Amino acid sequence: MIQSRRTFLCSASLVAAAGTLTACTVTTSGKTTTLTLNTTKVKAYAQAGINAVTTILSITAVSTAMGAPAVAVIEAAGGALSTALSALASETNGNLTVSYDADFSHLRQFQVIL
């Protein structure tokens, strides 16, 4: 089965989005909504994507067609992304939680002033 680059990129982005959604949970208690992002899962999904790109670039025909400068930029970006995601997972101890009050009365009051 031969796929075009556009089809491949679209499929890859859909898989990445689905992976991110499975790493996110939303809970509501009263007026407080809490979003929790499992940063360890996000890191794992991203690392799988980086590994896939590395595998594709290891094919001589692909890397030759792209050219050495482009391959070097992609490899550097993959390394930087991996480092950043490792730091995020480490700093958040695997979970990033954001809670907010769903009472928007203060927003309505601000709109009345305007």
Cα radius of gyration rounded to whole Å, the chain: 20
Percent of the chain's residues with pLDDT above 90: 33
Q: Is the pTM higher than 0.85?
A: no
Domain tally, the chain:
1
Cβ atoms within 10 Å of 20's Cβ, excluding its own? 15
What average pLDDT does the segment 9-19 reach? 57
User: Residue 33: which domain range?
Assistant: 5-113
